[in-house]
Structure 1
Amino acid sequence: MEKLLEQIKKGTVWAFPGGVHPPQQKTLSNSAQIARLPLPDKLVVPLKQHIGANGKLIVEKGQHVLKGQPLTTPAANWSVPVHAPTSGTITDIAPMPSAHPSALPELSIIIEPDGNDEWCSLNPAINPAKLSHDELVDIIHQAGISGMGGAGFPTYVKADIKQPIEFLIVNAVECEPYITADDVLMREHAKQVVQGIELMQQILNPTLCIVGIEDNKPEAIAAMTQAAEHNANIVIQTVPTVYPSGGEKQLIKLLTNREVPSSGIPADIGILVHNTGTLFAVQQAVYEGKPLIERVITVTGNTIHKPGNVWALLGTEIKHLLDCQGFSPVPQQRVVMGGPMMGFTLPTVRIGVVKTTNCILAPDHKELAEPGPEKACIRCSACADACPASLLPQQLQWFAKSKEYDKLQEHNLFDCIECGACAYVCPSEIPLVQYYRVTKVEIKEQQAEKIKADRAKERFDARKERLEREQEERQNRHKRKPAAKSDDEKQKVADALARVKNKSDNGGEKSAVAAAIARAKAKKQQGEELEPDNTEVAKERALRKEQARKYKEQKSQTDDSGDTAPVDDKKSAVAAAIARAKAKKAAQAQDEQVKTDDANTAPADDKKSAVAAAIARAKAKKAAQAQDEQVNTDDADTAAPVDDKKAAVAAAIARAKAKKAAKAQDEQTNTDDANTAAPVDDKKAAVAAAIARAKAKKAAKAAEQTDQPNVPSINEKPADNVKSEEPQTDSPSDNKKAAVAAAIARAKAKKAAKEAQQTQSDENTEQVTTAEPETPSEISPEQTAAQKKKAAVAVAIARAKAKKLQKEGNDQS
Structure 2
Amino acid sequence: MASPRATAGKIATRGQRNMKRRLWHFHGGLRLPGHKAESMQEPVHTASIPPQLIVPLQQHIGEPAEPEVEVGQRVLKGQRLAYATEYVSVPVHAPTSGTIRAIEDHPIPHPSGLLAPCIVIDSDGEDEWVELTPPPDYAGLEPSALRNVIREAGIVGMGGAGFPAFIKLNAGPGNIIDTLILNGAECEPYITCDALLMQEQPRRIIDGLLIMRHAVQARHCVIALEKNQPRAYESLREALSDEEKTFIELVQVPTIYPTGGEKQLIKVLTGKEVPSHGLPLDIHMVCHNVGTAAAVADAIHHGKPLISRYVTVTGEAIGQPSNLDVLVGTPFSALLEQCGWRDDRDHELIMGGPLMGFNVATPDVPVIKTTNCILSWPRAAEQHIPMPCIRCGECARVCPAQLLPQQLYWYARAKNFDRVQDFNLFDCIECGCCAYVCPSHIPLVQYYRFAKTEIWAQEREKRKADLARERHEFRLERLESKKREDEERKQRKKEMLKKNQGDKNDSDDNKKATIEAAKARSRARRAEPAAADDSAAEASASNSDKEES
How many Å apart are 1:6 and its aligned residue?
9.5
Q: Deviations over 1:226-277 (max 9, x none)?
A: 2234312111111111100111111111111111111111112211110000
What corresponds to 2:541 in structure 1? none
The equivalent position to 2:87 in structure 1, one of 60, 77, 86, is 77
What corresponds to 2:251 in structure 1? 237
What corresponds to 1:91 in structure 2? 101
- 3-state secondary structure, aligned to 1:90: strand
Is 1:257 paired with 2:290?
no
Q: Is contact 1:54-1:79 (8 Å) kept?
A: yes
Q: When the two structures are superposed, what TM-score results if normalisation uses the length of structure 2?
A: 0.84
How many Å apart are 1:330 and its aligned residue?
3.0
What corresponds to 2:232 in structure 1? 220
What corresponds to 1:21 in structure 2? 31
- 3-state secondary structure, aligned to 2:92: coil
Cα distance in 2 for partners of 1:130, 1:64 equals: 36
What corresponds to 1:145 in structure 2? 155
In structure 2, the CA distance between the partners of 1:248 and 1:369, relative to structure 1 (3 Å rule), is farther
Q: Is contact 1:101-1:347 (8 Å) kept?
A: no
How many Å apart are 1:131 and its aligned residue?
2.6
The equivalent position to 1:276 in structure 2, one of 290, 295, 298, is 290
Q: How does 1:359-758 map to 2 (within 5 A)?
A: 359-364=373-378, 372-479=384-491
Cα distance in 1 for partners of 2:382, 2:449 equals: 20
Cα distance in 2 for partners of 1:371, 1:225 equals: 47
- 3-state secondary structure, aligned to 2:347: coil
Cα distance in 2 for partners of 1:87, 1:56 equals: 20
Cα distance in 1 for partners of 2:270, 2:382 equals: 39
More strand per residue:
2
Q: Deviations over 1:415-464 (max 9, x none)?
A: 10000000011111111011111111011101111111112112222222
Is 1:190 paired with 2:202?
yes
Whose RCO is larger (CA < 8 A, sep 6+)? 2
How many Å apart are 1:328 and its aligned residue?
1.2
Q: Is contact 2:109-2:366 (8 Å) kept?
A: yes
Cα distance in 2 for partners of 1:292, 1:125 equals: 16
The equivalent position to 1:118 in structure 2, one of 120, 128, 145, is 128
How many Å apart are 1:477 and its aligned residue?
2.7
In structure 2, the CA distance between the partners of 1:122 and 1:7, relative to structure 1 (3 Å rule), is closer
Equivalent residues, number: 482
The equivalent position to 1:312 in structure 2, one of 314, 326, 331, is 326
More helix per residue:
1
How many Å apart are 1:159 and its aligned residue?
2.1
The equivalent position to 1:68 in structure 2, one of 67, 72, 78, is 78
- 3-state secondary structure, aligned to 1:363: strand
Cα distance in 2 for partners of 1:169, 1:100 equals: 28
What corresponds to 1:42 in structure 2? 52
Q: When the two structures are superposed, what TM-score results if normalisation uses the length of structure 1?
A: 0.57
Q: How does 1:775-794 map to 2 (within 5 A)?
A: none
- 3-state secondary structure, aligned to 1:309: strand
Q: Is contact 2:308-2:327 (8 Å) kept?
A: yes
How many Å apart are 1:164 and its aligned residue?
2.3
Is 1:343 paired with 2:357?
yes
Cα distance in 2 for partners of 1:462, 1:468 equals: 10
AA paired with 2:113? A
- Which 5+ residue runs of structure 2 have no aligned equivalent? 1-14, 507-549
What corresponds to 2:11 in structure 1? none
- 3-state secondary structure, aligned to 2:385: coil
Cα distance in 1 for partners of 2:381, 2:260 equals: 25
Is 1:106 paired with 2:121?
no
Cα distance in 2 for partners of 1:276, 1:432 equals: 30
Q: Is contact 2:195-2:232 (8 Å) kept?
A: yes
Cα distance in 1 for partners of 2:126, 2:17 equals: 53
Is 1:247 paired with 2:261?
yes
What corresponds to 1:130 in structure 2? 140
Cα distance in 1 for partners of 2:383, 2:428 equals: 22
How many Å apart are 1:66 and its aligned residue?
1.0
Q: Deviations over 1:356-377 (max 9, x none)?
A: 0000011335xx7665111111
Cα distance in 1 for partners of 2:18, 2:87 equals: 36
In structure 2, the CA distance between the partners of 1:63 and 1:370, relative to structure 1 (3 Å rule), is farther
AA paired with 1:350? D
What corresponds to 1:729 in structure 2? none
Q: Is contact 1:22-1:177 (8 Å) kept?
A: yes
How many Å apart are 1:70 and its aligned residue?
0.8
Cα distance in 1 for partners of 2:479, 2:179 equals: 53
- 3-state secondary structure, aligned to 2:237: helix
Is 1:11 paired with 2:8?
no
In structure 2, the CA distance between the partners of 1:289 and 1:196, relative to structure 1 (3 Å rule), is same
Is 1:334 paired with 2:357?
no
How many Å apart are 1:289 and its aligned residue?
1.0
Q: Is contact 1:9-1:235 (8 Å) kept?
A: no
Q: Is contact 1:384-1:392 (8 Å) kept?
A: yes
- 3-state secondary structure, aligned to 2:378: coil
Rg comparison, structure with higher value: 1
In structure 2, the CA distance between the partners of 1:8 and 1:370, relative to structure 1 (3 Å rule), is farther
Q: Deviations over 1:304-328 (max 9, x none)?
A: 1110100111000011110000111
What corresponds to 1:739 in structure 2? none
- 3-state secondary structure, aligned to 2:93: coil
- 3-state secondary structure, aligned to 2:80: coil
What corresponds to 1:588 in structure 2? none
- 3-state secondary structure, aligned to 1:24: coil
What corresponds to 2:219 in structure 1? 207
Is 1:301 paired with 2:311?
no
In structure 2, the CA distance between the partners of 1:7 and 1:401, relative to structure 1 (3 Å rule), is farther
CA RMSD of aligned residues (A): 2.3
Q: How does 1:160-175 map to 2 (within 5 A)?
A: 160-162=170-172, 163-175=175-187
Cα distance in 2 for partners of 1:204, 1:9 equals: 26
Cα distance in 1 for partners of 2:19, 2:452 equals: 39
Cα distance in 2 for partners of 1:455, 1:140 equals: 33
Cα distance in 2 for partners of 1:104, 1:263 equals: 29
Q: Is contact 2:317-2:347 (8 Å) kept?
A: no
What corresponds to 2:67 in structure 1? 57
What corresponds to 2:5 in structure 1? none
Q: Is contact 1:8-1:256 (8 Å) kept?
A: no
What corresponds to 2:527 in structure 1? none
Cα distance in 2 for partners of 1:142, 1:168 equals: 22
What corresponds to 1:805 in structure 2? none
The equivalent position to 2:166 in structure 1, one of 132, 136, 156, is 156
In structure 2, the CA distance between the partners of 1:8 and 1:64, relative to structure 1 (3 Å rule), is farther
- 3-state secondary structure, aligned to 1:121: coil
Cα distance in 2 for partners of 1:116, 1:25 equals: 37
What corresponds to 1:546 in structure 2? none
Bigger Cα displacement from structure 2, 171-180 vs 150-159:
150-159
Identity %: 47
In structure 2, the CA distance between the partners of 1:219 and 1:170, relative to structure 1 (3 Å rule), is same
Cα distance in 2 for partners of 1:338, 1:180 equals: 11
Cα distance in 2 for partners of 1:154, 1:337 equals: 20
In structure 2, the CA distance between the partners of 1:404 and 1:228, relative to structure 1 (3 Å rule), is same
Cα distance in 2 for partners of 1:301, 1:408 equals: 36
- 3-state secondary structure, aligned to 1:285: helix
Cα distance in 2 for partners of 1:426, 1:463 equals: 55
